[in-house]
Structures are given as C-alpha cells and as structure tokens.
C-alpha cells in the first residue's frame, strides 16, 4: 500500500478574515476608531486594501458610500457576493504596490487600515491615497519601535489572503510614517489612546514586545489621523506620544 500524502489546506479568504484572531482584531480597531469622535457620518469613503469588507460595514452603518479596492480577485469575489445589490458599495482591483499615476478625487475619507505594511515601500501608495482624501486619511499599520525614520522591509507569505501580494512588506517606524504623511497633509495626529488589543503598545519607550509561542511574529501597531484642516479633538495630539492609554 502506497504512502498517503496529506496536502496542506490553503485557507479561503473567509476562513482567514473570520478566524477568531481576525474578528477580535477587527472589533478592537473599529471600536477604537468610533471612540475618537471623528466626523465619519454621511461621507464618501475610499477603502483600499479592504480584504473581504469587514471594515466596510462600519461606514455603511453611518450613512456613507464606500469605494473599496483589493489586489486579490479571491477577496473581491467575496465582497461582490457580500454587498450584491447594495448601491452604496463599489469595487475595484488596485495593486498599491504599483499605484496608478493619478489619484481620483471625490472622496472625503480614505480608510487605510491594515494595508501599508503589506507593501515593500508604501511611499508612492501614500502619495496616491493622499490625493484621494478630500478631508482625512485614517491609517493603521504594523510599525517598528524606534525614533529614526526607517522602512524595515520584511518577507511575507505571498499565498496568504491577508498578506503582501508581492511577498514583501515593511515595518516602518512611527517617524517614517509621520514624515510621509506630512509630505501630503498639513495636519497629522496621533490618538492618545490605543485599541484594547495586545498588538497595540501603550509604552513606546520600553522594549518591543517579544514573540511568544502563541504569537511567533510579535507585531506592534499604531494609528494616525492625517487631515487637510486642523482637528480640535482632545483625544488627538500632533506630537508623537511616548505613552498611550487604552480606549
């Protein structure tokens, strides 16, 4: 009798994004975004790197229209089925590893959560997305500890539905992200709070979190709010905070 070879199951986009880990992570990020009290009602939203649309509903529930983009056809296919018949949602295939030359106008908000660190160098993507944002660009991504501007390129699993299409991502420092955003926005803010999730550090002066058996690749995340005009909000600061608190 011959040996049986067990093939490794490749998870579907829904299995990836609706795992317990992702559902918890999504809930904490959107909970935090809602707590900031930003004007996100009845807006025209561009959501790049939308995955399968788990953040999209956040804006639909606030009376917004959403144009979502994804580089992976398998993710777009889920979104087409999920939002079929909903005229408030439009979809487009865009690979921001190689962004289009011109930025479309007509959007108030760019919701850029969980995307930029899946690009080998997000400089041009930030340029493109900033050009789309009439009012604000909301950014959440994995970052590296450090007070110098550094990009820190890393390898990612190309076949995974939530990872870099090119196979290469980055873990830039907060100063690097802030500097790139300030090239396009007059006002860049940090929240004084962080989502209640272990991947969001509260103390940036301590050592970076170390990987555990449960989290082989310890991640550290940060949130940025880039705006065309000043925002009078006691939960935001233009200065890079050394410490933050839970929402």
pLDDT tens sequence across 30-70: 999 999 999 999 999 999 999 999 999 999 999 999 999 99
Contact 56, 66 (CB under 8 A): yes
**pLDDT over 70 percentage in the chain:** 93
Contact 161, 13 (CB under 8 A): yes
CA 141, distance to chain mean position in Å, is 5
In a domain, 2, yes or no: no
pLDDT tens sequence across 71-93: 999 999 999 999 999 999 999 99
pLDDT at 2 over 90: no
In a domain, 5, yes or no: no
In a domain, 145, yes or no: yes
In a domain, 219, yes or no: yes
Whole-angstrom distance, CA of residue 53 vs CA of residue 91: 10
Structurally, how many domains does the chain consist of?
1
In a domain, 4, yes or no: no
In a domain, 148, yes or no: yes
CATH code at position 43: 3.40.50.150
Phi first, then psi: give them for residue 45, nearest 5 degrees: -115, 135
Whole-angstrom distance, CA of residue 1 vs CA of residue 229: 72
List the domain range (segments joined by +) for residue 165.
13-246
């Amino acid at each position: 009798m011959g040996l049986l070879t067990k093939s490794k199951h490749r998870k579907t986009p829904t299995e990836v994004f609706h795992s317990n880990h992702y559902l918890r992570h999504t809930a904490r990020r959107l909970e935090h975004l809602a707590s900031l009290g930003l004007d996100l009602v009845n807006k025209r939203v561009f959501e790049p790197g939308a995955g399968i649309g788990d953040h999209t509903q956040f804006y639909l529930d606030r009376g917004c229209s959403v144009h979502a983009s994804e580089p992976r056809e398998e993710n777009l296919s889920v979104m087409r089925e999920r939002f079929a018949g909903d005229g408030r949602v439009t979809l487009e295939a865009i690979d921001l590893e190689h962004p289009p030359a011109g930025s479309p106008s007509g959007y108030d908000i760019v919701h850029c959560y969980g995307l930029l660190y899946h690009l080998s160098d997000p400089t041009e993507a930030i340029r493109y997305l900033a050009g789309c944002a009439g009012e604000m660009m909301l950014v959440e991504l994995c970052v590296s500890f450090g007070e110098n501007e550094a990009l820190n390129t890393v390898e990612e699993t190309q076949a995974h539905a939530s990872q870099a299409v090119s196979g290469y991502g980055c873990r830039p420092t907060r100063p690097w992200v802030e500097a790139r955003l300030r090239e396009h926005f007059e006002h860049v803010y940090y929240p004084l709070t962080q989502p209640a999730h272990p991947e969001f550090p509260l103390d940036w002066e301590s050592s970076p979190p170390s990987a555990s058996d449960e989290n082989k690749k310890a991640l550290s995340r940060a949130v940025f709010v880039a705006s065309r005009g000043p925002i009078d909000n006691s939960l935001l600061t233009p200065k890079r905070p050394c410490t933050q608190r839970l929402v």
